[in-house]
Amino acid sequence: MNVIFDLRRGSFALKAEFDLPDRGVTAIFGRSGCGKTSLLRCMAGLEPEASGQLQVAGQAWQRGAWSLPTHERALGYVFQEASLFPHLTVERNLRYGWRRVAPGKRRVEWQPTIELLGLEGLLDRYPAQLSGGQRQRVAVGRALLTSPDLLLMDEPLASLDSDSKAEILPYLEKLHRDLAVPLVYVSHSQDEVLRLADQLVLMDDGQVQTQGPVADVLTRLDMPLAHQQGAKALLEGAVVRQDEADHLTEVICDGQSIWVSQLNQPPGTPVRLSVAARDVTISRAPATDSSVLNCLAVQIDALEADPQPGHVLVVLRLGAQVLLSRITERSRRQLALTRGDCVYALVKGVAVH
């Protein structure tokens, strides 16, 4: 579906257009103040001054200046704060969403939702008795139980501490795998985007800079993410086996083996690995006498001067996927690296997440 919105408020102007897949997670990403939340509010019908175009599940939600009222849109909205009813138990909070949908129109079932989000043992508790991560899981469950055609999440982890984030992220990953409706996820955390999103919409100053698969947008040299100090690449693979003695997991990515810190996932499980550009070194020959566990045969796809003086950003192709490496200009000269060269990428196992 095509999403187009134009909104002006004082000195701020939002002018955004992007394509939203019919399922999967699309992340709206950018620095604070770039218009992420305003865009999400437009999609929810909460910005009466907005004009644009949005059609969801065959129904027009926005057409020019005309907007379908929010309460008539089949959407679920999860805010930064859980916003649960404090006087109701978890079960009654969940049933508030459940009862909004006529029994004959329910497409999301009660028990599978409870199990998906691990809420079985929390139903009799009140919000004040829950951790931050638990409250957000309930908020997600309440939104899902409205059987939405579109699920919106506005930085749902922003107010959580690191332990609460670690608690809820596996549940959000399950949503990423199992949810049959499109989910739009607003975040300024690159790590969240790497773990959860399929598509990435990159915003700056109220406009969409680019859109595409997460792995592609992260490593495009004409986009700012690749040139940030914490630039990362995303690899997709599958678990092969566990080395219980050394607490390591072997993952296959495009036919090559990568050892990472133990993931506790059974063989065959699809996994995502993020690798920082600063953790990838380049060698002309395979590493034999080294503590580095991973030596990957790759080809240089591109080289470009980095904003950091004396540094070079190198795009390395691993089959159909790519890695980034940030090296010094001196290293590039000493190795005489050029586009098309076949080299080896050395990556510590402890540096892959």
How far does CA 240 lie from the centroid of its chain?
Answer: 24
CA 300/CA 348 separation, integer angstroms = 20
Amino acid at 254: D
d(CA 302, CA 317): 9
Confidence at residue 353, expressed as pLDDT on a 0 to 100 scale: 75
pLDDT of 223-276, one tens digit each? 999 999 889 999 999 999 999 999 999 999 999 999 999 998 899 999 999 999
Mean residue pLDDT of the chain comes to: 92
Backbone phi and psi for residue 96, each to the nearest 5 degrees, phi listed first:
-60, -40
**pTM of the complete model:** 0.90
User: Largest Cα–Cα distance in the chain?
Assistant: 69
346: phi then psi, degrees, rounded to nearest 5: -105, 125
- Mean pLDDT for 9-19 is 92
With H, G, I as helix, E, B as strand and everything else as coil, classify residue 2.
strand
Phi, psi (deg, nearest 5) at residue 13: -130, 125
Q: In which region does residue 24 sit, left (phi positive, over 0), alpha (psi from -120 to 50) or beta (all else)?
A: left
Q: Write the CB contacts of 10 (distance below 8 Å, at least 6 apart in sequence).
A: none
Residue 351 has pLDDT above 80, yes or no: no
Q: What pLDDT sits at residue 180? A: 82
Least confident of 6-10, 15-19, 160-164, 174-178: 174-178
User: How far apart are the C-alpha atoms of 335 and 39, rounded to whole Å?
Assistant: 46
| CA 269 remoteness from chain centre | 19
Give mean pLDDT, residues 99-111. 86
pLDDT at 106: 84
- Residue-level pLDDT at 339: 97
Statement: residue 312 has pLDDT above 90 = yes
Phi and psi torsions of 251, nearest 5° = -125, 140
What domains, with CATH codes, occur in the chain? 2-218 (3.40.50.300), 232-351 (2.40.50.100)
Please report which helix (H) or strand (E) contains residue 335, including its range: helix 329-335
Task: Kindly list the distances between the CA atom of residue 332 and the CA atoms of 49, 262, 313, 336, in Å, as whole numbers in the listed order.
Answer: 53, 33, 10, 6
Q: Is the dihedral of CA 179, 183, 185, 191 positive or negative?
A: positive
C-alpha–C-alpha distance, residues 57 and 1, integer Å = 9
Helix (H, G, I), strand (E, B) or coil at 199: strand
Residue 314 has pLDDT above 90, yes or no: yes
Q: Calculate what percentage of the chain has a pLDDT beyond 90.
A: 74
> Where residue 277 falls among pLDDT bands split at 50, 70, 90?
very high
Full DSSP string of 231-285: -EEEEEEEEEEEETTTTEEEEEETTEEEEEE-----TT-EEEEEEEGGGEEEESS
Which of the 8 DSSP states describes residue 286?
Answer: -
Asked if residue 258 lies in contact with residue 319, where contact means CB atoms within 8 angstroms, the answer is no
Tokens of 274: 């993020």
> Burial level of 186, CB count in 10 A (0-12/13-18/19+)?
buried
Question: H or E stretch including 108?
Answer: none
**Count of CB atoms situated within 10 Å of the CB of 183:** 25
Residue 287's pLDDT is what?
84
